[in-house]
């Protein structure tokens, strides 16, 4: 099957003004070994400060584990004195940072860059497995090693370095630039001391839809797929909900057990959940569909049968089969179900009275929190009726007598209670429009920095970023860490042992932010 590879890509974009900056920074400075080592040591120093965000931390001011962030903000001020002198730097909610580089043309909406300073724990049990101590920030000339080196201190250091380089050339922005730095992105779904307060501050100051675009972290954004380099800015991210299932039954001595203990009953519900996944569906506004079409038209080595499945009008079933055959691809078209935490039982000779399971869901574009709840009710109601459990689902008592179908009102409990509770409910994000000028500007800059042969296509992010608090500030939100994943042959190591950042990738990030700021300064609608 031969396809005409018509160009679906916007033109390459380079800054046109101030070619002296291009010659000095892009042409010379960014290629020098001294600059490479300076930027690497900036990131190394940032990694050495263990700004860990744990699940379940108490609020700032009450939990001393937040105090390490004072040291980190001091480090940034020492490392970037020129930035702190020229920009307005504010602290929000104690440890969040807001940098504002005021532009001289107030008719232009600001552009907003985002990052976060917190990191996940390194894990005491796994410390011995690290090649270098996880907070050493060791730099071997090729990689900066340590927790947070990739996620997300690399983006933060690259952004501030790009601004610093522009300041050194006496660049005066036309468009206001804002850099918003949260400190609890990794801290768990129930924490929002940083990003939420930053978003609220910006919303109160500038108003709804006041930002031209928002750019935040994401996957290592330049990947080779089907023999072709793809840049994959995420234009949407999945929703999120945790569902806790609790089985409660009478206890007793283990010498006279019933047919099923609380744990046994819970195991039955777990099997039901895993045996009945959410259906896969590829709908029109899922960014995955746009990516697949771009890949089918522009990639070098895609198998012909897959191209035909993507582009053919009668091949949707075959395409879904392809997506379902790999768990990474499947996550782009299905609400995921992950049995993550199970608890039950206290003692070997005592029957457990309670057993619980925590199930994590990343909600697909076509679904919602409401859809997830309905799924659980329809799936577990028949089971509860069969075993005569009282079903308390998401705040509503829903048990029906399994013999006659009548709603029970007498409060009796023939077997036990099955309780479903949802926590941290987040619907999927809005989808940014790839036909918008902002996506063309972003795509043109990416191709200008990484090469005109790079194919830019939107991606759906399966996780969640701090952008979940920023939806009201702009309809154009993109999530990508702008460096080539191929710089690390071991692949991305974020959130695991031996996290590291290639210095070549770090320099690419500096160059991208440097050029993106300049391109956005020259364009207008």
Domains, the chain, with CATH or none: 19-214+491-522 (3.40.630.10), 239-426 (3.30.70.360)
Q: Is 58 a catalytic residue?
A: no
- Six-digit token string for 100: 């504002």
Question: In terms of Cα–Cα distance, which of 153, 134, 212, 63 is closest to 522?
Answer: 212
Predicted confidence (pLDDT) per residue in 355-373, tens digit: 999 999 999 999 999 999 9
Predicted model pTM: 0.92
- At 431, the pLDDT band (50, 70, 90 cuts) reads very high
At residue 399, the pLDDT reads 63
pLDDT of residue 491: 80
pLDDT digits (tens, 9 = 90+) for 41-50: 999 999 999 9
Q: Is residue 412 scored above 50 in pLDDT?
A: no
CB 117 within 8 A of CB 69: yes
Confidence of residue 407 (pLDDT cuts 50, 70, 90): very low
CA–CA dist 90, 111 (Å, integer)? 17
Q: For residue 403, is pLDDT > 70?
A: no
Residue 315 confidence (pLDDT): 64
Mean pLDDT across the stretch 227-243?
97
Q: For a pLDDT cut of 90, what percent of the chain falls above it?
A: 85
Q: Provide the pLDDT for residue 1.
A: 34
**3-state SS track over 428-470:** CCCCCCCCCHHHHHHHHHHHHHHCCCCEECCEEECCCCHHHHC
* Residue 385 burial (CB count, 10 A): 17
Instruction: Give the pLDDT band of residue 404 (cuts 50, 70, 90).
Output: very low
Q: Specify the pLDDT at position 413.
A: 46
Annotated ligand binding at 186? The verdict is yes
pLDDT greater than 80 at residue 428: yes
**CA of residue 70 relative to chain centroid, distance:** 25
Of 7 and 178, the structure prediction assigns the larger pLDDT to 178
Over residues 107-134, the mean pLDDT reads 91
DSSP 267-302: HHHHHHHHHSPPPP---TT-HHHHHHHHHHHH-SS-
Count how many Cα atoms sit within 13 Å of the Cα of residue 261 in the half-sphere of its side chain: 20
pLDDT at residue 350 is higher than 90: yes
Q: How confident is the model at residue 410 (pLDDT cuts 50, 70, 90)?
A: very low
Residue 259 is labelled as binding a ligand: no
DSSP bridge partners of 241: 361
Of all residues in the chain, the percent with pLDDT exceeding 70 is 94
Nearest partner of 523 among 8, 27, 19, 109, judged by Cα: 109
pLDDT number for residue 411: 42
* 305 among annotated binding-site residues: no
Is 495 assigned to a binding site? yes
> Mean pLDDT over residues 172-178, rounded?
98
Check whether 510 has a pLDDT greater than 90.
Answer: yes
pLDDT band at 521 (very low <50, low <70, confident <90, very high): very high
Count of C-beta atoms within a 10 Å radius of residue 477: 28
Question: What's the whole-number mean pLDDT along residues 119-131?
Answer: 84
Secondary structure E strands in 378-523: 389-393, 396-397, 416-426, 455-456, 459-461, 477-484, 500-502
What pLDDT, on a 0 to 100 scale, did the predictor assign at position 4?
A: 41
118 tagged catalytic: yes
Options 118, 150, 229, 508, the catalytic residue:
118
The mean predicted confidence, pLDDT, of the chain is 92
Residue 191 confidence (pLDDT): 60
pLDDT band at 381 (very low <50, low <70, confident <90, very high): very high
116 confidence band (pLDDT: 50, 70, 90): very high
Cβ–Cβ under 8 Å, residues 363 and 237 = no
Residues 292-346 have pLDDT tens digits of 999 999 999 999 989 988 988 666 788 998 999 999 999 999 999 999 999 999 9
Q: Are 236 and 365 in contact (CB under 8 A)?
A: yes
pLDDT interval class at 175 (50, 70, 90): very high
As a whole number of angstroms, the distance between CA 494 and CA 507 comes to: 18
Instruction: Specify the pLDDT at position 405.
Output: 43
Which is more confident, 360 or 402? 360
Single out the catalytic residue among 150, 164, 185, 466: 185
User: How far from each other are the two terminal CA atoms of the chain, in whole angstroms?
Assistant: 40
Widest CA span in the chain:
85
Q: How many CB atoms are closer than 10 A to CB 430?
A: 16
pLDDT at 7 over 80: no
Burial 488-505 (b: 16+ CB within 10 A, else e): beeebbbeeebbbbbbeb
Q: Is 253 annotated as a binding residue?
A: no
Mean pLDDT of 385-393: 95
pLDDT at 8: 74
Average pLDDT on 503-522 reads 98
């Amino acid at each position: 099957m031969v396809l005409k590879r018509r160009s679906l890509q916007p033109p390459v974009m380079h800054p046109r003004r101030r070619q002296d900056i291009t010659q000095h920074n892009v042409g010379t400075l960014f290629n020098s070994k001294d600059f490479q080592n300076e930027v690497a040591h900036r990131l190394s120093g940032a990694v050495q400060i263990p700004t860990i965000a744990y699940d379940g931390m108490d609020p700032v001011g009450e939990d001393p584990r937040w105090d390490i962030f004072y040291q980190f903000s001091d480090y940034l001020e020492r490392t970037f004195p020129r930035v702190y002198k020229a920009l307005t730097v504010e602290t929000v909610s104690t440890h969040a940072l807001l940098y504002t580089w005021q532009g001289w043309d107030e008719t232009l909406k600001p552009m907003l860059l985002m990052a976060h300073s917190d990191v996940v724990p390194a894990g005491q049990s796994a410390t011995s497995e690290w090649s270098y101590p996880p907070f050493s920030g060791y730099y071997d000339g090729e990689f900066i090693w340590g927790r947070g080196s990739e996620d997300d201190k690399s983006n933060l250091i690259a952004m501030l370095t790009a601004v610093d380089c522009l300041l050194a050339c006496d660049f005066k922005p036309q468009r206001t630039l804002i850099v918003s730095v949260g400190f609890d992105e990794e801290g768990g779904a129930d924490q929002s001391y940083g990003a939420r307060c930053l978003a609220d501050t910006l919303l109160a100051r500038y108003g709804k839809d006041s930002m031209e675009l928002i750019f935040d972290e994401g996957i290592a954004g330049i990947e080779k797929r089907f023999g072709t380099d793809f840049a994959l800015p995420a234009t949407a991210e999945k929703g999120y909900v945790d569902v806790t299932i609790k089985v409660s039954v009478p206890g007793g001595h283990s010498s006279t057990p019933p047919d099923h203990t609380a744990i046994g009953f819970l195991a039955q519900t777990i099997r039901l959940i895993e045996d009945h996944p959410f259906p896969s569906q590829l709908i029109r506004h899922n960014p995955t569909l746009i990516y697949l079409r771009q890949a089918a038209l522009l990639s070098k080595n895609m198998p012909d049968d897959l191209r035909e499945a993507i582009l053919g009008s009668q091949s949707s079933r075959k395409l879904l089969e392809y997506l379902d055959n790999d768990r990474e691809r499947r996550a782009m078209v299905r609400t995921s179900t992950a049995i993550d935490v199970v608890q039950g039982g206290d003692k070997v000779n005592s029957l457990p009275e309670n057993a619980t399971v925590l199930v994590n869901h990343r909600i697909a574009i076509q679904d919602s929190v409401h859809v997830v709840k309905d799924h659980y009710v329809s799936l577990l109601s028949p089971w509860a009726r069969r075993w005569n459990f009282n079903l308390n689902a998401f705040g509503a008592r829903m048990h029906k007598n399994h013999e006659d179908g009548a709603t029970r009102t007498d409060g009796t409990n023939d077997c036990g209670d099955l309780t479903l509770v949802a926590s941290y409910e987040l619907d999927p994000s809005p989808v940014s429009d790839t036909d918008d000028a902002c996506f063309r500007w972003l795509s043109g800059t990416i191709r200008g920095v990484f090469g005109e042969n790079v194919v830019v296509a939107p991606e759906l992010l399966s996780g969640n970023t701090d952008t979940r608090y920023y939806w009201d500030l702009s309809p154009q939100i993109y999530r990508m860490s702008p460096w080539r994943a191929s710089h690390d042959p071991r692949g991305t190591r974020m959130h695991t042992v031996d996290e590291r950042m290639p210095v070549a990738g770090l320099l690419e990030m500096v160059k991208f932010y440097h050029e993106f700021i300049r391109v956005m300064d020259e364009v207008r609608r």
